Structure 1
Amino acid sequence: MKRRQFIKRVVQTGAVVSATALSAEHVLGANERVRVGLIGCGGRGMFDAKLMRAAPEVEFVAVCDLYPLHVARAREWAGPSAKEYKDFRRLLEQKDIDAVLIATPDHWHAIPAVLACQAGKDVYVEKPLSHNIQEGRTMVDAARRHNRVVQMGAQQRSAPHYAEVARIIQSGELGRVHFVRIWNYTNMFPNGIGHAPDSDPPEGVDWDMYLGPAPYVRFNRNRFIGTYRWFWDYGGGLVTDFGIHRFDSMHQIMKVDAPLSVSASGGRYGLTDGAETPDVVQVTYEYPGFILSYEACMLNSHGAGGRTPGKKYYQARGANDRPHGEAYYGTNGTLIADRLGFEIYPELQVASGPGAVGRGEAAEAFRMQRKEMSAEDATALHVKNFVECVRSRKQPAADVEIGHRSTIVAHLGNIAYRTGHKIRWDAAKAQIVDDSEAARLLARQARKPWDLI
Structure 2
Amino acid sequence: MKKDTSRRLFLKKASLGSAALTAAPMIFASGYKQKLLLNRIYEPLSFSVNDQINLGLIGTGIQGIFDTKAALMVDGVKLVAACDLYTGRLDRAKELWGDDIFVTRDYRELLNRNDIDAVIVATPDHWHKKIVVDALKAGKHVYCEKPMVQKWEEGQEIISAQKSTGKLCQIGSQGMSSLGNEKAKQLYEEGAIGDIVMLDFYNDRYSAEGAWQYPIPPDANKDTVDFDTFLGSAPKVPYEPKRFFRWRNYRDYGTGVAGDLFVHAFSTLNYVINSHGPNRAQATGGLRYWNDGRDVPDVSITLYDYPKTDTHAAFNAAFRINFIAGSGGGGGFKLVGTEGEMEVGQESITLKRSKLGMVPGGYSMISFTEATQKKISAEYAAQNLEPRASSLSTGETTWEAPRDYKGGHYDHFYNFFQAIRENGKIVEDPTFGLRAAGAALLANESYYKKQPINWNPSTMKLV
With normalisation by structure 1, the TM-score equals 0.80
1:367 and 2:386 aligned: no
Equivalent of residue 300 in structure 1, options 300, 325, 332? 325
Deviation at 1:97, TM superposition (A): 0.9
Q: How does 1:278-357 map to 2 (within 5 A)?
A: 278-288=297-307, 289-300=314-325, 323-351=330-358, 353=384, 356=387
What letter is aligned with 2:447? Answer: Y
Deviation at 1:229, TM superposition (A): 0.9
Deviation at 1:357, TM superposition (A): 7.1
Equivalent of residue 51 in structure 1, options 70, 76, 79? 70
Q: State the partner residue of 2:362.
A: none
Residues 1:192 and 1:329: Cα distance change in structure 2 (over 3 Å): closer
| Alignment partners' CA distance in 2, 1:383 and 1:376 | 11
Secondary structure of the structure 2 residue equivalent to 1:174: coil
1:181 and 2:200 aligned: yes
Secondary structure of the structure 2 residue equivalent to 1:218: coil
| Alignment partners' CA distance in 1, 2:408 and 2:210 | 31
Deviation at 1:343, TM superposition (A): 1.4
What letter is aligned with 2:417? Answer: V
Secondary structure of the structure 2 residue equivalent to 1:73: helix
* 1:38–1:60 Cα contact (<8 Å) kept: yes
Deviations for 1:55-75, whole angstroms, at most 9, x for unmatched residues?
A: 331111111111111111212
Deviations for 1:68-94, whole angstroms, at most 9, x for unmatched residues?
A: 111112124333332111100111111
Identical-residue share of aligned pairs (%): 26
1:419 and 2:419 aligned: no
Q: How does 1:216-295 map to 2 (within 5 A)?
A: 216-225=236-245, 227-288=246-307, 289-295=314-320
Equivalent of residue 10 in structure 1, options 4, 21, 25? 25
Residues 1:387 and 1:190: Cα distance change in structure 2 (over 3 Å): closer
* 1:350–1:358 Cα contact (<8 Å) kept: no
Equivalent of residue 114 in structure 2, options 89, 95, 100? 95
Deviation at 1:201, TM superposition (A): 3.4
Pairwise CA RMSD of aligned residues? Answer: 3.2
* 1:13–1:160 Cα contact (<8 Å) kept: yes
Deviation at 1:220, TM superposition (A): 2.4
Residues 1:60 and 1:373: Cα distance change in structure 2 (over 3 Å): same
Say which one has the larger Rg: 2
Deviation at 1:269, TM superposition (A): 2.5
Residues 1:387 and 1:427: Cα distance change in structure 2 (over 3 Å): same
* 1:16–1:163 Cα contact (<8 Å) kept: no
Deviation at 1:16, TM superposition (A): 12
Structure 2 unaligned blocks of 5 or more: 1-6, 18-23, 27-36, 308-313, 360-383
Deviation at 1:361, TM superposition (A): 7.3
| Alignment partners' CA distance in 1, 2:270 and 2:146 | 15
Secondary structure of the structure 2 residue equivalent to 1:259: coil
Deviations for 1:172-212, whole angstroms, at most 9, x for unmatched residues?
A: 12111111111121123289778x99x98354211001111
What letter is aligned with 1:62? Answer: A
Equivalent of residue 210 in structure 1, options 222, 225, 230? 230
* 2:74–2:410 Cα contact (<8 Å) kept: no
Secondary structure of the structure 1 residue equivalent to 2:75: coil
Residues 1:99 and 1:429: Cα distance change in structure 2 (over 3 Å): same
| Alignment partners' CA distance in 1, 2:155 and 2:322 | 26
Deviations for 1:8-46, whole angstroms, at most 9, x for unmatched residues?
A: 6723847799xxxxxxxxxx9995121111111122212
| Alignment partners' CA distance in 2, 1:167 and 1:386 | 22
| Alignment partners' CA distance in 2, 1:88 and 1:190 | 28
| Alignment partners' CA distance in 2, 1:62 and 1:191 | 29
Deviation at 1:275, TM superposition (A): 1.4
Secondary structure of the structure 1 residue equivalent to 2:305: strand
Secondary structure of the structure 2 residue equivalent to 1:91: helix
Structure 1 unaligned blocks of 5 or more: 18-27, 303-316, 434-453
| Alignment partners' CA distance in 2, 1:420 and 1:376 | 43
Deviation at 1:117, TM superposition (A): 0.5
Equivalent of residue 377 in structure 1, options 407, 420, 423? 407
Equivalent of residue 387 in structure 1, options 406, 417, 425? 417
1:108 and 2:127 aligned: yes
Which structure is higher in helix share? 2
* 2:227–2:244 Cα contact (<8 Å) kept: no
Q: State the partner residue of 1:201.
A: 221
Deviation at 1:111, TM superposition (A): 1.1
What letter is aligned with 1:184? Answer: N
Moved more, 96-105 or 71-80: 71-80
1:162 and 2:187 aligned: no
* 1:349–1:357 Cα contact (<8 Å) kept: no
| Alignment partners' CA distance in 2, 1:66 and 1:373 | 40
Deviations for 1:338-387, whole angstroms, at most 9, x for unmatched residues?
A: 2341212223434463555799978xx65311123799611011111111
Q: State the partner residue of 1:39.
A: 58
| Alignment partners' CA distance in 2, 1:86 and 1:164 | 42
* 1:4–1:355 Cα contact (<8 Å) kept: no
| Alignment partners' CA distance in 2, 1:159 and 1:16 | 13
With normalisation by structure 2, the TM-score equals 0.78
Deviation at 1:48, TM superposition (A): 1.4
What letter is aligned with 2:443? Answer: G
| Alignment partners' CA distance in 1, 2:234 and 2:402 | 37
| Alignment partners' CA distance in 1, 2:435 and 2:326 | 28
Deviation at 1:292, TM superposition (A): 1.2
| Alignment partners' CA distance in 2, 1:114 and 1:16 | 34
Deviation at 1:254, TM superposition (A): 1.5
What letter is aligned with 2:129? Answer: A
Deviations for 1:369-427, whole angstroms, at most 9, x for unmatched residues?
A: 11237996110111111111111122211112211111111111111111111111123
Secondary structure of the structure 1 residue equivalent to 2:396: coil
